[in-house]
Amino acid sequence: MRNISRQDCAILDRRDPLAGFRDEFDIPAGMIYFDGNSLGPPPRAALIRAKEVLEKEWGEGLVKSWNTANWFQLPRTLGDKVAKIIGADQGEVLLTDSTSINLHKVLSAAVSLRPRRRVILMESGNFPTNNYIAQGLAAQLNRRLEIRFTDSVSIADAIDESVAVVCLTHVHYISGSILDMAAITAKTRQAGALSVWDLCHSAGVVPVDVNACKVDFAVGCTYKYLNGGPGSPAFLFVARRHNGRARQPLTGWWGHADPFAFERDYRPAHDVRQMLSGTQPILSMAVAEAGLDICLRADTTSVREKSRKLTGLFIDLIGERCSGFGFTLASPLDSARRGSHVSLEHDQAYGIVQALISRQVVGDFRAPSNIRLGFAPLFISYTDVWDAVERLLEVMKDGQWRRPNHAPPNTVT
Ligand SMILES: *Cc1c(COP(=O)(O)O)cnc(C)c1O
């Protein structure tokens, strides 16, 4: 078979039904941005919205805007938008706080619904904050909770009747492997345990249907593929069947049944609002809506199809053009099992990532030896992938990654 050419990529771009979305984002000219899986770029609509919320809603409306601009309802109204993206019903999702904090809340709620069981089952290679939050919760609860770690292939076998909660990430943050949410959640239910899914690397790019899978709880962030902005509020899903019973411990006034009655004692809201704690970062939240609206307009099937093709193209091009440079693929070869980012392992990964960044190809380094590139289908084109591989080849050929200015690590990789 003949090798892939840049012309082949240009043809794919011309036929791409999502090509028009590229112009909705403000990305520096010349930059190829493969970090949409870490911090999505700003939608142009977000820049307009930011000005409006600062000048009009905050500046002119001041405190009235809690009502006139519906600020108080934003966790619900934006939660309803996320619900459509993850297969939840209206009223089951909130936008609030961070993923870490939401994980603490839903994990607390879940373990308290299984008071006689002692195990939280997690994947050992998961994004560390999830492990840390579970460990902190176990230390706090004083009921001899055990965090049991398993590797990704042994999850189903590790689910038994000692398990209270199975807490997993749908798309792995380094490898991009997708776990079988339907099968694992079914096994979890059979064992009488509850499921908590982290959708950070799925929401907006890999189809998710939490209710079809009968998931109990889910969390995820909006600053990755949902382009909400740095530190934009995360989301949280609680299946409606748990309303009135699932209780989280950060019992602030926003989670009260009647916040503006200012009662002395806490009385929980009987729906998902119990998962709220206090006043929300309204500026950040208002701006995040622009990214959600873009995602809702994009056809899910086309997004998934393009994502599989982009990551596949990259893997093929690395195979064709960069063999002999010491790269190994650390992501599934089968695109059905792969999310929207690809990891390559190389013992000089940090230097290579820095050299690529200096050539306007922005990806990230994940310790100890991974080059991780995210292929966000709404703004990455097939020719972008071609051009990035071309620049990678240049970097490898001229040994640029060996230069000492690429050696000292930054704080944020
Ligand atoms: C990005 C990510 C997080 C982020 O948590 P924050 O509280 O927003 O810092 C959590 N879990 C996973 C799996 C992630 O990929």
Radius of gyration of the chain (CA): 22
Going from the Cα of 221 to the center of ligand 1, the distance in angstroms, rounded, reads 7
CB atoms within 10 A of CB 59: 11
Pocket-testing residue among 38, 101, 127, 227, ligand 1, by greatest number of atoms within 8 A of Cβ: 127
- Residues annotated as catalytic are 127, 198, 223-224, 372
Q: Relative to the CA of 102, which ligand 1 atom is closest?
A: 7
Which residues, listed in sequence order, are joined to residue 171 by a DSSP beta bridge? Answer: 178
Going from the Cα of 98 to the center of ligand 1, the distance in angstroms, rounded, reads 8
Going from the Cα of 38 to the center of ligand 1, the distance in angstroms, rounded, reads 9
- How far, CA to CA in Å, does 274 sit from each of 23, 98, 242, 271, 339? 39, 16, 11, 6, 32
Q: Relative to the CA of 201, which ligand 1 atom is closest?
A: 15
Cβ burial, residue 257 (10 Å; 0-12/13-18/19+): middle
- How far, CA to CA in Å, does 156 sit from each of 150, 160, 191, 370? 10, 9, 11, 27
Q: Are 401 and 352 in contact (CB under 8 A)?
A: yes
Q: What is the pTM of this model?
A: 0.97
Q: If you take atom 14 of ligand 1, which residue's CA is the nearest one?
A: 200
Q: If you take atom 15 of ligand 1, which residue's CA is the nearest one?
A: 200
Q: Which residues line ligand 1 (CB under 6 A)?
A: 98-100, 127, 129-130, 169, 173, 198, 200-201, 221, 234
pLDDT in tens, the chain (413 residues): 689 999 999 999 999 999 999 999 999 999 999 999 999 999 999 999 999 999 999 999 999 999 999 999 999 999 999 999 999 999 999 999 999 999 999 999 999 999 999 999 999 999 999 999 999 999 999 888 999 999 999 999 999 999 999 999 999 999 999 999 999 999 999 999 999 999 999 999 999 999 999 999 999 999 999 999 999 999 999 999 999 999 999 999 999 999 999 999 999 999 999 999 999 999 999 999 999 999 999 999 999 999 999 999 999 999 999 999 999 999 999 999 999 999 999 999 999 999 999 999 999 999 899 999 999 999 999 999 999 999 999 999 988 777 766 556 678 87
